[in-house]
A and B are shown apart, each in its own frame.
Chain A
Amino acid sequence: MSEHSSPAESHGPITRAGALSASVAAHDHDGGHGDAHADGHGDDHGSHGGIGQYLAVFAALCVLTTMSFLTYSSVWPWRDEPHVGWAFMMAVSCTKAMLVVLFFMHVLWEANWKYVLTIPAAMMAIFLALMLIPDVGMRNRMAAQERVLHMARPSDVLLMERAAESQMLADPASH
C-alpha cells in the first residue's frame, strides 16, 4: 500500500539497524503489500498455501474430529477412566487448533510480528483461567450451609438412578 510508494525523503535520522530489520521483515511477510508487490511474487504466494496442502490439512482435521468422537463410541477402551478421554480430547483439540492457526490462518508463513500479538494474548488467557480457580473452582470447598442444602450432590444422582431401577410404578403394558 502507500507506505511503499512514498518518495524517499528524510524527515529525521533513521538508524541503519532499524531500516534493515524493517526491510527484512517486510520481505518475509506476504499479504497486503498492494498490487506492485503481489504481481512480482504472485507465484510465491500461491505456493505457500497450495490447494493440495489445504486439502491435506482438511483431511487431517476430519480424521482428528473422528478420533475425538471415538471416545464417545463403544470402541474406546478407557470408558471407566474419564481422565484418559479428557486428556486425549484436549490433545486432539490442541492439534486441530494448531493446524487451523498455522495453515488456514497462514501464521506459519507470517513474520515475527505474530509472536508480538499472540503470545501476550495467550499468556493473558491462561492467567485469566488460572485466576478463576480459587474463587470459582473451589467454591464448594467451604460453601455456606444453605448452598450445600440446595445444591445437587452425588447422593442425589444415586437416588435418581435407584428410582429409575425401582419397579415401584412398574407397568406390564409399558415395556
Chain B
Amino acid sequence: MNASAHSIPHGHDDRDAHGHDDHGGGHGHIVLQYQPGLPLSKGKLIMWLFLSTEIMFFAALLGSYVVLRFGAAVWPKPHHVHLSEPIGAFNTFVLICSSVTIVLALEAAKANKVAMAKNWMLATLLLGCLFLGIKGYEYSAKFSHGIYPAQPHSRIYEKPDLYYGAAVRARLGEPAIIEQLKELDDTPEEKLSSDEASARRRLQKIRQMVVSPDQQPFDLAVVADQIMPLPSEGTGGHGGHTEGLNDTFPWLRLPAVIPGGNMWASTYFLLTGFHAIHVAVGLLVFAILLTYRLDRKRAGMIENAGLYWHFVDLVWIFLFPLLYLF
C-alpha cells in the first residue's frame, strides 16, 4: 500500500507535475496523494474488518436466540430462572460508563495528557472487571439453583412428568442423602428454626408422595413446586421469592422443574459466555496498553482497542433487554 503512494499537483498532467516538483515549487498547489485501498490506517482497517466478522458472529448468536425463543412452545419468565433485572440494568450502566472512560482515555492521549489517559484506561479496566464480577455472581446464583447449560450438573426438568418423579426418587435414594435425611429427621424440633421445621414436614410429605403407588399426575407438580417454586411475575426480584426445599436445605439439591428451562439455560450461557470472553479479551488488551506510555503516538492503538470495547458494549445493549426483559 505504501510503496505506491504518489503526489501530483492538481490541474496538470503527470509530466507537468514532476516539472513543478523538481523546481521545489508546489506552493499554491493542492498536493494530491494517491492511496489505493481504503483511506485509513492498517490497524484501524483490520479492526473494522474484524468487527464486521464479529457483527455476523453475534448476529448469528442473537438471531438463533430470538428464533429459538419465539419458536419454543414455552419459554421461562426471567423470574422462573432467577434472573434479576436490576442487576442486569446495573451491569448495562457499568459497561456504558466504561465506554465513556475509554473514549476519554483516547481524547486525553490525543491531547498528549499521558497521566490522564492512563487513569481513564485504568478506570475502564476496573469497570470491565466489575462487570465480569457481577456476571460471575449471577452465574453462581444460577448454579446454586441447579441451572447449568447441560447434564450432569443441570437439575432442570421440563415438566413434572414420570421422568421427573423418577429423578426425585433417585436423588432421595442416594446413600449420602439418606444419611442426611436421617440426621434431619432425628433433630429435635426445638433445634430447628420455624422455617426449617415447616420445610421438614413438607419434605416428609413429598418423600411419601414420590413413592406412593396411587400417585396422581398433579402430585408431581406439587412436589416440583415445593422443591423449587416458580416465582410469580408480580413479586419482583428476591423480595417475593418463596423459598423452596432446595433453598432451605441446600444439601438436598433435588431436581427442579422449569418449563423451557433447558433451552433457556443453553442460550443464556452461550450468549453471555461469549460476551464475557469478549470482555475478558478487552480487559487483557487494556492491561497490555497500560504498560505503554499513552501519548499521542499511541492514540491509534487506543482508538482500535476502544472500537473493540464499544462493540462489546454494543452487544450487551442488545443482550440486556433480550435476556432480562423479554
Contact = CB atoms under 8 A, between A and B. Distances in A.
Contacts of A46: 107, 110-111
A163 B21 contact: no
Contacts of A156: 74, 158-160, 257, 259
Nearest to B9: A8
Contacts of B59: 124-126, 128-129
B212 interface: no
Interface string A53-73: 011001001100110110110
Given A32-B43, A159-B160, A136 B201 contact: no
B221 interface: yes
B166 interface: no
B144 interface: no
A84 interface: no
B288 interface: no
Contact of B34 (A18, A55, A150): A18
A58 B5 contact: no
A57 to B, nearest CB: 8
A4 B52 contact: no
A14 B7 CA distance: 10
A157 B259 CA distance: 6
Contacts of B62: 129
B241 interface: no
Interface in B10-55: 10, 14, 17-18, 21, 30, 32-36, 38-44, 48-49, 51-53, 55
Interface string B272-297: 00000000000000000000000011
B221 A160 contact: yes
A1 B52 contact: no
Interface residues of A, number: 96
Contacts of A82: 326
A152 B259 contact: yes
B222 A163 contact: yes
B55 A122 contact: yes
A163 B225 contact: yes
Contacts of B63: 125, 128-130, 132
Given A8-B6, A117-B48, A166 B222 contact: yes
B296 A164 contact: no
Interface stretch (B97-105, B130-138, B146-154): B97-105
- How many chain B residues sit at the interface, stated as a range, is 35 or more
A97 B318 contact: yes
A91 B40 CA distance: 32
A19 interface: yes
Nearest to B7: A8
B2 A3 contact: yes
A14 B8 contact: yes
A76 to B, nearest CB: 10
Contact of A45 (B41, B42, B110, B311): B110
B56 A125 contact: yes
Interface string A29-62: 1011101001000100110010100110010011
A173 interface: yes
Q: Which one of A45, A58, A169 has the highest number of Cβ atoms from chain B below 10 Å of its Cβ? A: A169
A145 interface: no
Contact of A6 (B2, B44, B110, B195): B2
A97 to B, nearest CB: 5
Contacts of B222: 163, 166, 168-169
B55 A32 contact: no
Contacts of B38: 113, 116-117
Contacts of A110: 40
Contact of A104 (B44, B103, B318): B103
A116 B66 CA distance: 27
Contact of A97 (B32, B206, B261, B317): B317
Closest 5 CB pairs of A and B: A129-B63, A32-B41, A125-B59, A152-B259, A121-B52
20 contacts: A3-B2, A4-B33, A9-B6, A22-B39, A28-B39, A32-B41, A32-B44, A51-B104, A65-B96, A72-B324, A72-B325, A104-B306, A105-B306, A118-B52, A124-B55, A153-B73, A162-B221, A163-B222, A164-B230, A173-B194
Interface of A: 1-4, 6, 8-11, 13-14, 18-20, 22-23, 25-26, 28-29, 31-33, 35, 38, 42, 45-46, 49, 51, 54-55, 58, 61-62, 65-66, 68-69, 71-72, 82, 85-86, 89-90, 92-93, 96-97, 100-101, 104-106, 110-111, 113, 116-118, 120-122, 124-126, 128-130, 132-133, 136-140, 150-154, 156-157, 159-164, 166, 168-169, 171, 173-174
